[in-house]
Structure 1
Amino acid sequence: MEKTLRILLVEDNLIEIMKMKRTISLLKLNHTINEAKNGEDALEFLKDRSKIPDIILLDLNMPKINGIEFLKIIKANDDLKHIPTIILTTSSNQKDILECYKTGMSGYVLKPLKYEDYVKKIETVLSYWSINELNKV
Structure 2
Amino acid sequence: MKTLIKSLALALSISILTSVTSFSEAKPIGRPVVVASYQAGIYTCVDGKLNIALDKQTGGAVDVRLKNSDGSVLYSKHLGKNESKYRTRLNLNDLPDGIYQVEITNGVETTTHNVTISTQEPETPSRLVALN
Q: Tell me, yes or no, whether TM beats 0.5.
A: no
Q: Higher relative contact order at CA 8 Å, sep ≥6: structure 1 or structure 2? A: 1
Q: Which has the larger radius of gyration?
A: 2
